[in-house]
Amino acid sequence: MEKQIAWVVLMAVVCFSACGPRKDDMQRKEVQLITVAPGHFHAALVQKSMYPQVDSIVHVYAPQGTELAAHLALIDQYNTRGEAPTRWDEVVYTGPDFLAKMLEDRKGNVVVLAGNNRDKIDYITRSVDAGLNVLADKPMAINPEGFSKLVDAFAKADEQDVLLYDIMTERYEINTMLQKELSQVDGFFGGLEKGTLDDPAITKESVHHFFKEVSGKPLVRPVWFYDTQQQGEGLVDVTTHLVDMVQWESFPGEIIDYKQDIQLISAKRWPTILSPAQFERSTGQKDIPAFLEKSVGDDGNMAVFANGEINYTLKGVHAKVSVIWNFEAPQGTGDTHYSIMRGKYADLIIKQGAEEQYKPVLYVESTGERDVKTFEANLAHAIEQLGATYKGLAFEEIAPGRYRISVDPSLVTTHEEHFAQVTEKYLGFLQSGTMPEWEVPNMIAKYYLTTKALTEAETVAAP
């Protein structure tokens, strides 16, 4: 209640001091975004949609350069598209003192961060110290030192009554949502198995690509993206999503204590090899900068430790997450995801391969603990139970004891659309002044595991 009152008071103070005449004759809205050093396209995706409670004026603080230009070009693309154009007005400050200037100006109340991950944790801590809310792209920490700073930042955020949150887009992929929902129907799923190291109860695997398209145009990566000291290794980058989904699906609504509930078993890492031509195609830069020379071998190719695997237990349940980065997806394909949750009566499997036309599809398979007729009847009951929430939810048999799950196409959203869904969720937290009690400890648990796994993997020789 105190946080809600503080939020109302904050909005009243902001409006009293800033709600003057504007060129669009609209009053300043309750949320004003500040974008800091947008070196990753995810910063722009937050603004691919408009939000009723968010002011159209966004203040951007960043160093001058190609990263800022790419960010503003994406915003302009969204503003000028033919269908449902946005109306963002970017007010830009450039200069080496951009962070200090942002903290001095305080032109908003929510800082959006998506860029260099080495610097991000310091942007987080200084923003929170200044009493600003923060919506940050993953990962918020890429090493044990960053993890320690992140723990302190969450404690400071609580003191300051501000909300620090990371952008977990995969929670909004419909097949992942349904996998979670079906796993909670006890009479059908039978509860999550404990699993073993060789046969985990839950597995998450993803394949990503350095060269891809975003909003219909080839993505140009900043050169620092290939420096794992700045971007972070695969174990602490994309793996953040996979660890989050393991927690979110396996123990929904439960607080995870990283000191007691997580046991790291093993972790490993290995590089993706990029040729000079691939580096140039991806970044637009022919010359490899000095800070990347340590990754270049005698053959001139670059080794980027973008791949990794973590085996661990979460509250006694065996889990495995792994991430692979290739340079470019085969024609007609893209990033892929594989996931399985093993229950007593059913396995819930998401695949995204050639058979699925590289679109995620959820399958349900009987474990054989029940006869097929009983299993199918229980599946039908579970589908009927969830159908009130998920439009068009249905299943079809593709083999005895194996079924494909489908929903109305309106529920299928893209990765880019997920950013608006995360932002809307965060805006709801801001309005209420609080987040569910499990969110912060579970974010801490997530980054504890990824950064600890990196430390462990660094002691193991790469294959």
Question: In this structure, is residue 456 part of a structural domain?
Answer: no
Q: Judge contact between 148 and 171, C-beta under 8 A.
A: no
Q: What is the mean pLDDT of residues 435-455?
A: 98
Question: In this structure, is residue 463 part of a structural domain?
Answer: no
Q: What is the mean pLDDT of residues 14-33?
A: 52
- Picking from 267, 220, 298, the residue whose alpha carbon sits closest to that of residue 450 is 267
Q: Judge contact between 332 and 358, C-beta under 8 A.
A: yes
Q: Are residues 50 and 185 in the same domain?
A: no
Q: What is the pTM of this model?
A: 0.90
Q: Are residues 337 and 361 in the same domain?
A: yes
Q: Are residues 113 and 228 in the same domain?
A: no
pLDDT digits (tens, 9 = 90+) for 407-420: 999 999 999 999 99
Q: What is the mean pLDDT of residues 287-312?
A: 94
Among 120, 139, 166, where does a domain finish? Answer: 166
Which residues, in sequence order, are CB contacts of 9 under 8 Å at separation 6+? none
Q: Are residues 354 and 297 in the same domain?
A: yes
Question: In this structure, is residue 436 part of a structural domain?
Answer: no
Q: Are residues 157 and 179 in the same domain?
A: no
Which residues, in sequence order, are CB contacts of 126 under 8 Å at separation 6+? 99, 103
Q: Are residues 146 and 52 in the same domain?
A: yes
Say which CATH number the domain at 355 has. Answer: 3.30.360.10
Q: Are residues 356 and 371 in the same domain?
A: yes
Question: In this structure, is residue 445 part of a structural domain?
Answer: no
Question: Does residue 17 surpass a pLDDT of 60?
Answer: no
Provide the residue type at 270 as one letter. Answer: W
Q: Are residues 96 and 114 in the same domain?
A: yes
Question: In this structure, is residue 182 part of a structural domain?
Answer: yes
Number of domains in the chain: 2
First to last CA, the chain: 54
Q: Are residues 27 and 131 in the same domain?
A: yes
- Picking from 126, 109, 201, the residue whose alpha carbon sits closest to that of residue 433 is 109
- pLDDT at residue 463 in the model: 58
**How would you classify residue 95: left for phi > 0, otherwise alpha for psi between -120 and 50, otherwise beta?**
left
Question: In this structure, is residue 9 part of a structural domain?
Answer: yes
Say which CATH number the domain at 72 has. Answer: 3.40.50.720
Q: Are residues 213 and 276 in the same domain?
A: yes
**How would you classify residue 157: left for phi > 0, otherwise alpha for psi between -120 and 50, otherwise beta?**
alpha
What residue has token string 């590289």? 358
- pLDDT at residue 21 in the model: 34
Q: Are residues 94 and 108 in the same domain?
A: yes
pLDDT-based confidence at 214, cuts 50/70/90? Answer: confident
pLDDT digits (tens, 9 = 90+) for 35-47: 999 999 999 999 9
Among 166, 198, 232, where does a domain finish? Answer: 166
- Average per-residue pLDDT in the chain? 92
Structural domain for 82, as ranges: 2-166
3-state secondary structure of 165: strand
3-state secondary structure of 95: coil
Q: What is the mean pLDDT of residues 62-79?
A: 96
pLDDT-based confidence at 136, cuts 50/70/90? Answer: very high
Query: Which of the 8 DSSP states describes residue 296?
Result: B
- pLDDT at residue 9 in the model: 34
Among 130, 148, 166, where does a domain finish? Answer: 166
3-state secondary structure of 178: helix
Token pair belonging to 442 = 């579970």
Question: In this structure, is residue 275 part of a structural domain?
Answer: yes
Q: Are residues 100 and 243 in the same domain?
A: no
Which residues, in sequence order, are CB contacts of 336 under 8 Å at separation 6+? 206, 207, 352, 353, 358
Question: In this structure, is residue 430 part of a structural domain?
Answer: no
